[in-house]
Chains A and B, each alone.
Chain A
Amino acid sequence: MNNGGMYPYYESDWSVLPPEANRRFNPAFNMATIKQVVNEAIERVRMPTPMRLRDLIRQIRAARTAAEERSVVNKECAYIRSTFREEDSVWRCRNIAKLLYIHMLGYPAHFGQLECLKLIASSRFTDKRIGYLGAMLLLDERQDVHLLITNCLKNDLNSTTQFVVGLALCTLGAIASPEMARDLAGEVERLMKSPNAYVRKKAALCAFRIVRRVPELMEMFLPATRSMLSEKNHGVLITGVTLITEMCVNSPDTLNHFKKIVPNLVRILKNLILAGYSPEHDVSGISDPFLQVKILKLLRVLGINDVDTSEAMNDILAQVATNTETSKNVGNTILYETVLSIMDIKSEGGLRVLAVNILGRFLLNNDKNIRYVALNTLLRTVHVDSAAVQRHRATVLECLKDPDVSIRRRAMELSFALINSQNIRTMTKELVNFLEKADPEFKAPCSSSIVLATERYAPTRRWRLDTLLKVLVAAGNYIRDDVISSTIQLISESPTHQGYVTLQLYRALKEDLQNRQPLIQVGVWCIGEYGDLLTSAQSDDDIQPPTEEEVVEVYQRVLWSPQNTVTTKQYALMSLVKLSTRFTNTVSKIQSMIATFRSSLHVELQQRGVEFSQLFGNYSHLRAGLLERMPPLDAGGTGRGSDANQLNGEVEEEGMLGGGSPEGDEEEAIGAISNTNALLDFLDLDVINPAARTPPANVPPPGLLTSSHSQPSMTNNTNNQDLLDLLGLGPLGPPTVPPTENNNGSQPPAMPAPLDNGNLDFLAGGEGVFAPPVMNNVILEKQLPQMTAYEKDGLRVIFGLEKPTAGSANPDTLTIHVTANNNTLSNMTDFLFQVAVPRTFQLQMMSPSGTTILPNGKVTQIIKVSNPSKNVLKMKVKLSYVIDGNPVNDQIEVNNFPVDIWD
């Protein structure tokens, strides 16, 4: 009766498990012989029998293609289904075993669930063993099946065979739902008091699972649990300790209750360390590390925030920390757990130092796993025991060179956590070296973190600028836009260093520029702004400052190199036209260079070529005024407060305090102007043509006058004030309507008439760094009641709730100011925020301020919700974004709106 040629589909074998598998551990050789005789006898009586598990596996493994495998599996599944329908109980066990294998391959097998229950209900141990295995693999939390399995479990928990009880406990421990936990807790509690240690330990872990799922059932297990610690059997001890730990974590009362067992735990642990070699529990010379770790963990739970209890365990922790053999992983496992306990409890100062030193030794370990664990733990403790961790700084920096990328990543994070105003110079030096050689994935976060660290701790302005330059060189194209903008900003607000920096940048531009677009962009921006300072710069060394001709030559190279991006060339072209007002004897050369771009193939460059050429022709009288130096830029997203830090730190070198007035004051004085200035740039970019909003990568820096359409966007740059008034912004009072000077002719730029808050949000939140905190918006945020709607993985979404006011036009409309903050070190792109409300509400969503959130940046959006029927507001929020190339999707419900919104 062959099915399909060479392969015997039906074949006889009694046992569900192949006898070959059993031979190694079953010394009864004649058993196999008996079975063979028996099998042959059966074969004569009964035909056919289903394919053996072993043969199915062979057949599946022989399949050469996925399709072939699928066909074998489908055929067998169809056969297995048919036997289930026919209620074939003789071969049920074997069929389920096959089904479980098929399930592991990823095929659906849930039609076997009920058959598993039938197996469990069988009186044969073989059936039960496979049945329970199937139940653990195939059952999900479907209620109807669970009711059935609960009955089976109840039966078996009362069995007289310890292994049947064991199977039931094991299954309960793996798949107990809250309902099962409630129904069977009593049985488990009874079994915890069983005289049989094999049953007792399993019952204890079942109780552990039950307490996890239904904490209020804890009480009933307490008496049985307490007695477990007086056991000799390690299985019972470890499961007892595990259960107690779980109970303590779940309930402060129980935690207090178990504090009195600390001496018992200390005694058990001491016996383990001092005990001689015991073969049964020895692991590489250490006595039962599993139990030791569990006890250490329970001590940690009991000692947290409790001086007395901590006091009681100081000695033993010190003993474990000093007496544990560390040549193998297992010893370090115990030391690691000891360190965690020491760090978490109220331990003595000396002990804490000992713990950090153990981690320091870990850092030098040959085993990369140990090094990783050390870095991870140090990172956790650095905020508590900063001084102790600082002592291992050199070793941490050494780990930056580790061949293992996970370790390098941790070392980098820890290095940044260790930076303070004392070590900033050496740390930054090492990190810049690391940055040079780092993998591409590290370059962006590392360079941004260096920038943040220098912002906080830089000893001098000059040093900070030097460091930023080094970062620009070392990180090349991997630099994020925030680094470019914060560098430009820092330079623009450091008037005493502009000449120096420009010279340094100029020198860097003469070097190899491949893959350093950000460096070129910053470089040409500075040269454009401060070209006059460049050619007259005094440098520390004897090298002469460059001549105008040499500088223009660099531009020649930048502008015509095919490797440079269009954005870089836009920077360069803008910079070059500025130079025409800074330089004297190369103006005609510059003019001709710009003129060649009138026929550039790239439309953006061509447009600039055409427009800038106008400045040499009919409108040359405007050139000087238009291309004046930018006033210092105001700090945007990358955190203010840097000046405060600097003032607290060392006194600035070499006349930083120009004219005796601290720089902070100076900055404040120009604050208002620079604010609006940055805003103007945005208007130029965005408001005039909101439809063509450019992504941040392409946004030219402030001062780059872009006009991506024929409208003359070069309104009067020297006349900011008027435009400012027109917009009615800032501290300058209510809008007035001054005559707009429009030298270039045709029509005035289209400005939105009154700027409402939505538009301000749009401007302010837009592109992170450049966007100044617009005053109206700040006030608004402060006044509104806020709620955090979402916080996960570094993304925080805050709702500012603007309640409807009684007299307003829409008395039942709630305005929600959504602010999404990115607290990670990576860009979040393609950010999408969607909202759904119940039908009785009406929802109106304004367009968001952007789709990219820079690190520490934000995106804002306004939602209006009308509630004519005054229902309780519930909201479903769907979020998606891409971070480090990984898409993230999430959905939440926001139900905690204040109840009085519509009162």
Chain B
Amino acid sequence: MVRIFSFDYGAVLKQAFQMQFMLLFSRQGKLRLQKWYIAHPDKLKKKITRELITTILARKPKMCSFLEWRDLKIVYKRYASLYFCCAIEQDDNELLTLEIIHRYVELLDKYFGSVCELDIIFNFEKAYFILDELLLGGEVQETSKKNVLKAIAAQDLLQEDEAVEGALRDIGLL
């Protein structure tokens, strides 16, 4: 397993993405969301996740938000009981990554209405959908909050319509 890790790591460096992954986890160390922009075997993902959660939870609150971890730069920030953690390239702007995390939190907050950890647990797929309208392939695709929320709302509506339509068809009304 260790071997796999070091091997894949070399490959990662050559084709490093702006953001390699984003993890959300709780103060208790429970993973709440994981978004990988880089192809890793599942085993490796788990190993990275486990190591990072342990490392970050061990840090004291007054420490800065950056962490050099293996060859990656880790940017993390805690919002209430949730940690938002991103891995970026050595050369990237870690302050901007903090802004991206903050933008994501704002979007979650707007969508759920003062978001809390439980919202993200029970509606984890929504949290993914929102992230996927903000970032694509690890890069920012939309800088307007309004546009992101509009896209999500429109897609939610599509689902609603289908639900009703399906139900009506099911009982023979359509």
Contacts and interface: CB of A to CB of B under 8 A. Distances in A.
A777 B2 CA distance: 36
A126 B124 contact: no
Interface of B: 2-3, 6-7, 15, 17-18, 31-37, 39-42, 46, 62-67, 93-96, 98-100, 103, 111-113, 121-126, 128-129, 132, 136-137, 139-147, 151, 153-160, 162-164, 166-168, 170-171
A293 to B, nearest CB: 5
Residue from B139, B142, B157 whose CB has the most chain A CB atoms within 10 Å: B139
Contact of A406 (B46, B67, B112): B67
A39 B123 CA distance: 21
7 nearest A-B residue pairs (beta carbon)? A173-B137, A38-B167, A333-B95, A205-B136, A209-B137, A368-B64, A235-B142
B63 A212 contact: no
A18 B124 CA distance: 12
A141 interface: yes
Contacts of A28: 160
Contact of B42 (A24, A140, A177, A336): A140
Nearest to B147: A235
A97 interface: yes
Interface in A311-332: 329-330, 332
A54 B122 contact: yes
6 contacts: A41-B171, A97-B125, A106-B46, A126-B163, A170-B136, A288-B143
Given A15-B163, A329-B95, A140 B41 contact: yes
A235 B6 CA distance: 37
A442 interface: no
A782 interface: no
Given A173-B137, A329-B98, A336-B93, A405 B156 contact: no
A574 interface: no
A406 B170 CA distance: 61
Contacts of B126: 17, 21
Given A25-B111, A297-B93, A329-B99, 20 more contacts: A15-B163, A22-B156, A25-B153, A26-B160, A35-B167, A42-B167, A42-B170, A100-B125, A101-B124, A169-B136, A170-B132, A202-B136, A202-B141, A234-B143, A235-B141, A289-B96, A337-B96, A404-B64, A407-B64, A889-B6
B40 to A, nearest CB: 8
Contacts of A129: 125, 129, 155, 159
A281 B67 CA distance: 29
**Majority DSSP secondary structure for residues of B touching A:** helix
Contacts of A239: 136, 139-141
A201 B144 CA distance: 13
Which bucket holds chain A's interface residue count? 35 or more
Given A24-B113, A104-B34, A289 B99 contact: yes
Contacts of A124: 162, 166
B162 to A, nearest CB: 5
Contacts of B121: 57, 61
B152 to A, nearest CB: 8
Contacts of A612: none
Contacts of B66: 369, 372-373, 406
A304 to B, nearest CB: 12
B32 A104 contact: yes
Contact of A205 (B46, B137, B147, B164): B137
A280 interface: yes
A35 B164 contact: yes
Nearest to B165: A124
Contacts, number: 212
Contacts of B7: 891
Contact of A404 (B34, B63, B159, B164): B63
Interface string A193-209: 00000100110011011
B155 A369 contact: no
A293 B96 contact: yes
Interface string A817-861: 000000000000000000000000000000000000000000000
Contact of B122 (A21, A25, A280): A21
A175 B40 CA distance: 10
A130 B156 CA distance: 12
A682 interface: no
Residue from B31, B153, B156 whose CB has the most chain A CB atoms within 10 Å: B156
A543 interface: no
A283 B144 CA distance: 10
B144 A403 contact: no
Contacts of A100: 124-125
Given A31-B160, A281-B144, A206 B39 contact: no
A163 interface: yes
Contact of A26 (B6, B156, B171): B156
B125 to A, nearest CB: 6
A174 interface: yes
Given A31-B160, A291-B143, A333 B42 contact: no
A133 B129 contact: yes
Nearest to B119: A21
Contacts of B156: 22, 25-26
Contacts of B2: 889
A288 B167 CA distance: 44
A8 to B, nearest CB: 18
Nearest to B36: A174
A22 B123 CA distance: 10
Contact of B151 (A25, A198, A340): A198
Nearest to B111: A25
A154 interface: no
Contacts of A104: 31-34, 124
Given A289-B96, A889-B6, A369 B141 contact: no
A412 interface: no
Contacts of A57: 121-122
Contacts of A106: 31, 46
Interface string A605-626: 0000000000000000000000
B132 to A, nearest CB: 5
A38 B168 contact: yes
A213 interface: yes
Interface string A83-109: 000000000000001001100111010
A163 B64 contact: no
B4 to A, nearest CB: 10
A283 B139 contact: no
A45 B171 contact: yes
B164 A38 contact: yes
Nearest to B132: A170
A583 interface: no
Interface string A23-45: 01110100100110011011001
Given A133-B128, A889-B6, A242 B139 contact: yes
A890 interface: yes
B143 A235 contact: yes
Nearest to B7: A891
Residue from B33, B34, B67, B144 whose CB has the most chain A CB atoms within 10 Å: B144
Nearest to B113: A24
Contacts of A133: 125, 128-129
A404 B62 contact: yes
Contacts of A61: 121
A829 B62 CA distance: 33
B25 to A, nearest CB: 10
Given A38-B167, A39-B167, A283 B63 contact: no
A856 to B, nearest CB: 22
B99 A283 contact: yes
B63 A368 contact: yes
B68 to A, nearest CB: 8
